[in-house]
Chains A and B, each alone.
Chain A
Amino acid sequence: MSKSATNWSEAGDGFTQAFYVQQQAQLWFSEEIPIASDAADWRALSPAERQCYTRVSAGLNAMDTLQGEVGMPLLAAGEEDHQRKATLAMFAFMENVHARSYSMANKTFLSASEERDAFEWIEAQPHLQRKITAFRRLYEEGDALTRMMASCLLETALFYSGFFYPLYLAGQGKMSHMGEVFTLICADEALHGTYVGLLFQERFAALPEDEQAEVRARFEALAREFYENECGYTDEVYAALGLASEVKKFVRYNFNICCDNLGLERLFPDEEVNPLVLNGIRTTGGTTHDFFSIKGAGGYSKIAVTPLTDAAVREAWDA
């Protein structure tokens, strides 16, 4: 048990503080976005489209719950450094904010029985259940390196079959407020994936070569297994909309990003991904939005408070 306190004045590993500050700057809550304004769009979707939307959200809810309850807390527990623990704990907090935002969307768009059906579907969907069971086991029984690998795989690759549809619709101007929620979530997941990937790379680099080869092989086997599982999931969820092959391209693209984060070789050849969806996850820069109809995921963050000194006032006043 810890007997010391976190000292943020120390540079630490040189990168953790930047991630902590970044997550803090990105802090958001679903209440900030008027998702009820999508109600008319929601009603205009076909039953198949609504079902797809509901299911991908439900699946993501389950994944975020797993990350918030098990994945991130165990990663935090496995680190010695206070700054790292704090950063991972804040990531865990955001995972729960994500899960809650899916639930808020359910509450807004679904009837009580539809909502119940969605949760029942999660418990019965075999690919989803396989994923949850396997990753829970990896977290609970694996070593630190395995946990990091699993976490990165989940957040950088396995979430994206679910992200595809909301981003695809938002790119066409449908469900755009929910689209903002997804863009905010993607920005968080990108941060988490990069950070955990860095932690992974640090430990990986310290291994002797034969162990590195073993880890590399283990990752590839795991990734292949769950890529197949993801394809099965995608087929079931997207078949009715005829989007399955597009979604799989996007999933492969994100598996490659996951490899980049872990510093391992890419698994799939580059291919052209749906540009709408790709532009939906672009977190650089932010977007120019119609300020009066959309809050804007490009947007706002907690900024640092620094006192206004006499010298600063004088300089601006006399300029």
Chain B
Amino acid sequence: MDRWTELNNKVLAGGVVNPAHDGEALKAYFQEHVNPNTVFFHDLEEKVRSMTERGLWDAELLARYRPEDVKAVFTRAYRHGYRFQSFMGAQKFYAEYATKTPDGSRYLERYEDRMSMVALARAGGDAELALTLVDHLVQQTFVPATPTLMNSGKANTGRLTSCFLLQSCTDSLDSIMKTQHFAADLSKNGGGVGIDLSNLRARGEDLRGLKGVTKGAAAVAKLFDVLFRYADQAGQRQGAAVVNLSVMHPDFQELLAGKKIATDEDARLKTLSVCAVIPDVFMQAVRDDQDVYQVYPRSYEQATGRVFTDIDWEREYADIVANSQIRKRRVSARQLLQEIALTQGESGYPYLLFTGNANRANPVPNVGTVKMTNLCSEVMQPTLPSHFHGYGQEARDVVGLDVSCNLASLHISNALASGDLGGVVRAAIHMLDDVARSTNIEEVPAVARANREMRSIGLGAMNLHGHLAAHGLSYGSPEALAFCDLFFEAVHFHARRTSMEIAKGTGFVFRGFQGSHYHSGEFFRGYTEREREPSEGIAPEVRAALQGAWLPTREDWRQLVRDIQRHGLAHSHVMAVAPTGSISYVAHATASVMPITEKVETRTSGKGKTIYPMPGLSPETEWYYEEAYDLDQRRVIDTVATIQRHVDQGISCTLFVRSDITTADLARLYIYAYRKGLKSLYYLRQRRTAVQECVACAV
């Protein structure tokens, strides 16, 4: 057993938590593992030559710079004297991100080398931008998503993007199988895939004139469940996917049953995630304790010539209910919501997507409606169904619009500490823009089309709880909400302005800008029409937490809208708040905008058990590091609702509950989240009541 693993495990193994052991583990890890196992190069020239000759670094990329520019970037990277602050962070980086010899035994890159290569790759030959980027990357003011961090600058580069949504699993065997093929292709390269199944005809509908023979959406879900365990990333990590299905689809209950503990092997969805797509009419029926009518997609299509995801529930639902030609299934809305809660309790799934909220805030309704979401439930963009045909008949294919989304996250504390939040956001947006321009996934045509036409990106944030704790603010308190409101508005402003500047500078405007709510200015009305500035009269502790960051005023927004109307925007979307797993460990940040789960985490993954004390955990901050399971979850929802006002896409919002929660408690949280305007709820996490606790309260 490795000494650093043992030292790290000692943090928790004693009677009292002792984070000092983590420092010892970190030291041992470098001295006994990283340093002796790092290939030595005399100088940068030798390193570059060796790495390009080995076929690891992209020689073509490096040739776009003068050698002295390359050198300047590496020098800048090393000058920061970066040190990892936790064993977890160092181990994550060296195990997962650093380039190694083919047998995996020796490291060829140190942290600074990787950051230099990311900067050079993403600056696309612009030496000045490369220097700016490397400063940000090494100081971790923002961190790109894992595939960008891992694959940038490499010769046989894997993909830079890992988030995809497919609206191609439409109602024919050809489209279903084609989607399997796309999904496998995306998965083998590390993509997490969201797939919408709502357009599939339900179990027991007609097929080629035969009555009641179809197997329905849950059966297709099972195919994907098996597929993603097979098409993994060369055995390094399991494939991962979510299937979306409307609660108004008759197969919804059957799909849900696939996530329950005791279910038939043929129906069980072992590793596939599930998302419940919930329109307003359903939530209204919950409120009024009414039944809803689930609609059979095939029969709807036969009666109207339109597909299931075309349904405008607000306008059409009454007609559908009245139309006797459309087959329907009647079910109590509250009972179905209870069923969702029960399944979440047992499995953590499904996610919930509130399409009413998502579409009311959709800036590009002219492109389409939001119908589905991704594996982390923060990507919210319009999709259009595709239709595929068999071999040799590709000419008949209809390529719709899928989603490919490029993500990065600000490190809130580091970004503010830099003293130039605007500069940080600008650099991050430029980097993401480059990722979008460098990506072209031809194998999946509707994904390639989306990236080409929409060029969507998503900047999020991490270390919210860490930042609040460091400034003596309680998560979810009025002061913390005020901080979130002001911080994310500023981020939004800078991000949007940068997108406008890119459009202005390059002439590229995303398709669908004309006719969008950006173009009309409607999307920004909350800023441009407001009567008073939110920064007026804010509490001193909130101001302190903002560290002097510049805040946009109504006039600034009005000017920006005028600029946008004149020059357009380069990206259909610029923000999305991802859950940030691995990268927040590397950057020593609390995950995303969620509360911490434990003051000292025990993290289990395919690579073993690692103990991770929260960033800056001390007797002073401990008080403010309330654990998520001890919080009223409405404080989490309030936090997300506040941030959501400034985010054009969505936010991964996990609920944290104890195992003694009931279905009614959960349902109330769903309703609360819906009413607060949340677009989605990510999975449910549960802390089991421990044996000691149950004895303590019982004996």
Contacts and interface: CB of A to CB of B under 8 A. Distances in A.
Interface string B355-385: 0000000000000000000010000000000
A280 B611 CA distance: 12
A238 to B, nearest CB: 14
Interface stretch (B2-10, B74-82, B643-651): B2-10
Interface in A19-71: 19, 21-22, 25-29, 31-32, 34, 37, 40
Given A26-B688, A299-B688, A287 B602 contact: yes
Interface stretch (B265-273, B391-399, B506-514): B265-273
A288 B597 contact: yes
A303 B289 contact: no
A81 to B, nearest CB: 15
Interface size class of A (residues with CB under 8 A): 35 or more
Name the residue in A273, A278, A285, A296 with the highest tally of chain B Cβ atoms < 10 Å from its Cβ.
A285
B9 A306 contact: no
A111 B268 CA distance: 26
Interface string B679-692: 00001001111111
Name the residue in A173, A285, A308, A310 with the highest tally of chain B Cβ atoms < 10 Å from its Cβ.
A308
A206 interface: no
B505 interface: no
Given A275-B9, A285-B598, A176 B691 contact: no
A29 B2 CA distance: 33
B187 to A, nearest CB: 11
Interface stretch (A10-18, A120-128, A144-152): A10-18
A19 B581 contact: no
A172 interface: yes
Given A25-B659, A290-B581, A279 B12 contact: yes
Contact of B695 (A21, A194, A286): A194
A18 B694 contact: yes
Contact of A306 (B581, B602, B659, B662): B662
Contact of A303 (B270, B346, B581): B346
B664 A309 contact: yes
A1 interface: no
Contacts of A272: 13
A171 B5 contact: yes
Name the residue in B271, B581, B608, B666 with the highest tally of chain A Cβ atoms < 10 Å from its Cβ.
B608
Contact of B342 (A179, A292, A305): A305
Given A40-B235, A290-B606, A25 B688 contact: yes
A268 interface: no
B306 interface: no
A14 B606 contact: no
A316 interface: yes
A170 B663 contact: no
Interface residues of B, number: 75
A233 to B, nearest CB: 22
Nearest to A270: B15
A302 B347 CA distance: 9
B671 A296 contact: no
A172 B608 contact: yes
Contact of A302 (B5, B345, B604, B693): B345
B321 interface: no
B663 A305 contact: yes
B659 A301 contact: yes
A34 B240 CA distance: 14
Interface string B552-584: 000000000000000000000000000001000
15 contacts: A15-B698, A22-B691, A279-B12, A282-B12, A284-B692, A288-B601, A289-B603, A292-B375, A293-B237, A296-B604, A299-B686, A305-B663, A306-B662, A313-B668, A319-B672
Kindly list the 10 A-B residue pairs having the minimum CB-CB distance in the complex, ordered from nearest: A173-B608, A303-B345, A275-B9, A18-B698, A275-B13, A290-B605, A316-B671, A15-B698, A173-B607, A284-B690
Interface of B: 1-2, 5-6, 9-10, 12-13, 192, 229, 235, 237-238, 240, 261-262, 265, 268, 270-271, 286-287, 289, 334, 337-338, 341-342, 345-348, 375, 581, 597-598, 601-609, 611, 634, 659-669, 671-672, 675, 683, 686-695, 697-699
Given A284-B693, A306-B662, 16 more contacts: A25-B689, A34-B271, A176-B605, A190-B691, A274-B6, A275-B12, A284-B692, A286-B688, A288-B597, A289-B605, A292-B192, A300-B261, A300-B347, A303-B346, A307-B664, A316-B669
